[in-house]
Structure formats: C-alpha cells, structure tokens
A and B are shown apart, each in its own frame.
Chain A
Amino acid sequence: MTCDEVKARLVDCWNQSLDERDALAVEGHLTACPTCSAEAERLGALWLELSVIPSEEPRPALRGRFYEALNAYQNAYRDGMESARRRNWRTRVLALWPRQPAWQMALSLALLLVGVSVGYAVRSDGPRGANSEIAQLRGEMDGMRQVVALSLLQQQSAGERLRGVSWANRVESSDMEVLSALLDSVNHDPNVNVQLAAVDALHAFGSSPVTRTAVVQAISTHQAPLVEIALIDLAVDLKDKEAVPQLRTLLQDSSADADVRERAKWALEKFQ
C-alpha cells in the first residue's frame, strides 16, 4: 500500500469503517513509514478533539415560526384543492358538449334562444359583461398589490418595509402569503416601528384562525413591550378569548414589563 492509498483510508480509520484486510494493510504501512505514522496520529487526535466542540441550539422562536408557516401553507393548499375541485366540476360539464358540428350548432342556437329569453325575462339593468371585466381587473390588481407588498416587506430599509406593510393592508384578507409575511414581520423584523405597523395590518386578517393562533403565541413570546401591548389590543379587538391563558401568565410574570402587565390586566377585564 502506498502513502497516498493510506491517506485515503485514514478517513475510514477515523470513522471506524475500515474492513479487516485494509486495516491490516494500513497498520503494516504505518509501522514501516514514520511520516505517515506521525501524520495519522496527529490527524486522528484532531479528529477526536473535534467531537468536544459543543453543538449550538436554535432559539425557541424558530419552532413557532415553522408552525406559523406550516399552518399558512396548509390553508393555502386547502384553498388550492377547493378550486381544483371546482375546475373538475367545470371539466365534467364541458364533457357534455357534443362533438358533431351539427349538434354543436343546434345546441348553440338553443342556448342562445334560452339566453335571450332569460335576458328579456329578467330585464337586468346592469351591464353584466362589464361586471365580469371589472371582477377580472380587480383580481389582477389584487395580485399586483400582493407582489408589491411581499417584495417591499423583504427590503433592507425599514422605510421600504413600512411601505410593504401599508401595501399589505390593500390585499385580500384571505391572502395567506401576505399574512405569513406580516406574521414574520411582527415576530422577527429588527425595527419596532415595522413590527407595530404589521400588528395593525393584522386587524384585516382577523378572521383567519392562523392570525388568531399567531397573535396568541406572539403575546407570550414577544420581547418588545410596545409590540406586546399592540398585540394585546389586537387580541381584544378580535375578541380572541384563546389569549386569556397567555394574558393571565403575563399578569403573574413579575419579570414582565409593568405597562404590559397593566395592559394584560385591562384586557382580561374586557374578556370577562
């Protein structure tokens, strides 16, 4: 066995995964080659020493963030499945459409007649075509607002992120992606003003159970007293009674900020 072959097998020695035949060959070489022997000893000791380096732990907030994101993703997935089911239903209806051109024409004429008759019967005042176009435009505007809000919320500048929160106020309250970004801002934005603005923006998303759960969690984990107070106010506005246990804990926590405890007391009175 050459020096290079032995070096490649040293890793197996450290991992204790060397088979018996190779182990004998490596041992034989090391006995005969003092250079390799010294190197194997030094690197082996260093390899062992690496195990003493302590491992690092993530902060507990990571778990909360993960569950927030998972909830948001699950809800978005459920919404997606629902619309897919609706699409399937449309496909089945379309399958009833005849393939023969003559039948297609006859059916078209019949439908046209039915449409005209129903139109006359209903005598609608509003221009329905225009309504559907407006709905489509509204959808496109919502999509655009979502993109603007999400991209601004990821900016380095706090001012831009504040603008992102302001844009988030303009999207549909069912938009899980924006909700998730807002929750992330509440819990992790380095700037308190952005955190406070994000708490305010959450009012619009109050009907979502994700918002309620996240607000309750944030009350007990948040470090900034101003944001904690804003979160307590939000829980009261949303009439979220699930916050009661957290508020009681906060009230009894002597290390918590005095103003926060005062606000928790006020909120508990509101819930009674």
Chain B
Amino acid sequence: MQEVRAGAMAKLAVLFERHHRALFGYFMSMTRKQETAEDLVQDVFVRILRYRSSYDADRPFRTWMYQIARNANLDHARKNRGEVVGIEEFGDRRPEPVSAARGPEEASIRGQDIRLLQRALDRLPADKREILVLSRFQGMKNEELAQVLDCEIGAVKVRIYRAMKALEEIYLALVGEKAS
C-alpha cells in the first residue's frame, strides 16, 4: 500500500488480488445481493486510490481497508433504505453446503441444518451479522476488530458473544418451525 500511496498505482492490482474475494464475502453477507456486493468491492478499491494519501503506514492495511469497506456499506445502506430483498431468495442463492457427514442420509440432514444456519445468519441484525462475519469468516483478531469498529477489545468480545446468542436464538426458532 505504501507504494500505491507513493504513486505506483499499478501495485493496487496486487492488493485487489489478495483481498477482493474476502471483501466480496463481507459485502455479500451485508447486502445479500451479488451485483451490489461486486459494485461495493469496486467502490472500495476506487476509494483506496482516492484516499491513498490518508493511509497510515504504521497501521495494518487490512484494518484501514475494512474501515473504508464499512463506510462504503453504510453509504450504500443510506442510499437504499426501503429496498428489501427476500431473505429466502438470498439463502437459496448460496452454494450448496459441503457436508462433513459420512452416509448420504446423514449428509442430507447435515446439509439442511447448515442451510438453516445460513438462514439464521442472514436474519441477524446487520451489526451482529457484521461482527460475526468479520470475526468468524474473515478471521479477524479481536484487536484488529476493535480498530475496525472503533471500540475497546472488551466491547468486541461482548458484541461477538451477544451476536452468537442472537444467532442461536434465531437458529433454534427456525429448527422449531421446520419440526412443527
């Protein structure tokens, strides 16, 4: 990133190749739309170029990038308030879950469980879903998350715990719905 800041903009391609998939996963979880998620990934890299002079070389690039990503996501959400996407539709668009179970019957049950878990994750409020996505799927450490979310490490832990509790609640409700 330091080279990009110094004017070697072609080096942004290296950062794009390294991070665009993870960013796409983040935006997919937050927006539930493939096209919007791709637009937002593109938007983040344009913003990186535009604000490259504000990059602080003493801080990790990923933290800075996700701060930009969060802003891009907030701007998008503000512009598109009122736009509602069917959660079921979104859940169905995800790839088939890979099951670790052995027999075909067991694999099918496991696959259904995972699909319910996906649906529960999609139904979480945005702030809770965001912290779980960053922590669990993007593999961010609590220290890194505290910088991205601009809060104390203790607050990060509490928020992850609460998000997990909320996820469990929604998941169990979905399991109950399915059983009844």
Contacts and interface: CB of A to CB of B under 8 A. Distances in A.
A70 B46 CA distance: 8
A58 B49 contact: no
Interface residues on B, range: 35 or more
A49 B117 contact: yes
Interface residues on A, range: 35 or more
B12 A70 contact: yes
B46 A50 contact: no
A42 B172 CA distance: 11
Interface in A42-71: 42-43, 46-47, 49-59, 61-63, 65-67, 69-70
A67 B10 CA distance: 9
Contact of A58 (B20, B98, B117, B118): B20
B98 to A, nearest CB: 6
Contacts of B158: 7-8
Contact of A17 (B16, B20, B35, B141): B141
Nearest to A61: B38
A70 to B, nearest CB: 6
A57 B41 CA distance: 12
A25 to B, nearest CB: 15
| Candidate in B141, B154, B157 with the most chain A CB atoms within 10 angstroms | B157
Chain B interface main SS type: helix
B173 to A, nearest CB: 14
A73 interface: yes
Contacts of A7: 158, 161
A216 to B, nearest CB: 18
A43 B164 contact: yes
Given A49-B114, A73-B9, A74-B9, A43 B142 contact: no
B160 A11 contact: yes
B132 to A, nearest CB: 7
24 contacts: A8-B161, A11-B135, A11-B157, A43-B168, A47-B136, A49-B114, A50-B136, A50-B137, A52-B99, A53-B118, A54-B97, A54-B98, A56-B24, A56-B95, A58-B24, A58-B41, A62-B20, A62-B24, A63-B16, A66-B20, A69-B45, A73-B46, A74-B10, A77-B9
Interface of A: 7-12, 15, 17, 42-43, 46-47, 49-59, 61-63, 65-67, 69-70, 73-74, 77, 188
